Chains A and B, each alone.
Chain A
Amino acid sequence: MAYSTSTPAGQAVQNILNDLPGLMAIAVVDISSGMSLASHSNSNINPDTAAAYNTEVVKQKQKAMAALKLQGETMDDILITLTNQLHLIKLVGEGKKFIYLVVNSRETNLAIAREVLRAQVELLK
């Protein structure tokens, strides 16, 4: 357990764990450093490693959007679908942070995962 509920990030991780006790990994990540502000794992997935790599994925997509000159667009989330897992990256705090969630796709679908993360957006502003 790598979080303290006295910070907004830690509180968000705790709230998400309460909603999805069976989740595989969760982290709130600062994009400028690629480090997690709070994280927790119920599996062998290291959320801090994932934070660092996924920060680059987010930055890459922001570059792609710049190449397409998409105006009035912001990224809401990135969903990575694997054989048995969903990895969801939800941007929060005006694109300065993201919530990273890994769930088993047999237990949780995209709609549920999104709903749970959406509830924490205000907290992480």
Chain B
Amino acid sequence: MGLFSNLSFRKRNQPELAAEPTAEVVAAADSAPLLELPAPLAAPGLGDDMRAEAEELVRRVVQELPNFLTVAVMEAASGKILAGQWAGHSGGAVEMAAANAEIVRQTRQCLDALQLTTTEQLADILITLRHQLHLLRVLPQAEWLLYLAVRTQDTNPALARAVLQMID
């Protein structure tokens, strides 16, 4: 809370600074349900305390970036979703998580091949699309990944990264 929630609040209430989100987007973000993970989605053998911790991380990101599209915490090794919220439908969520975990794995492989791993550690991967930002952050605890998708009209990369760094 605090600094960054103020930023995103101010931005949303200053139409001259950024295009106002469409009514549809606002409605979708406001009604975003905490996705109930069906059994095949949830990582097996995950304790209640770890799941609660993952859900808490998701909740804190959502609080700072209320205009999010997707926030998810997943296992880096398997790509299994531990907790997540989707603004709108969650179709393709499992494939998305697995694909993003694979991107992190391949990036690490690249750093290995370049022999950079003695001095450099992967902090995050930012993917800029025409209308969306996708940010993958490596969390220190238990090799988790935090995945955030936002619209470029709502959030800039510096703000998105600042929020994810803050909740570590």
Contact = CB atoms under 8 A, between A and B. Distances in A.
To the question of whether A and B form a pair in one complex, the answer is yes
B114 A45 contact: yes
Interface stretch (B13-21, B33-41, B59-67, B100-108): B100-108
A50 B126 contact: no
B128 A84 contact: no
Contacts of A81: 122-126, 161
A57 B120 contact: no
B119 A72 contact: no
Interface residues of B, number: 33
Contacts of B110: 50, 53-54, 57
Contacts of A73: 129-132
Interface in A46-104: 46, 49-50, 53-54, 56-57, 60-61, 63-65, 67-70, 72-85
Q: Interface centre among B124, B126, B131, by most A CB within 10 Å?
A: B126
Contacts of A85: 116, 120
A63 B129 CA distance: 14
Interface of B: 91-92, 95-96, 99-100, 102-103, 106-107, 109-111, 113-116, 119-132, 157, 161
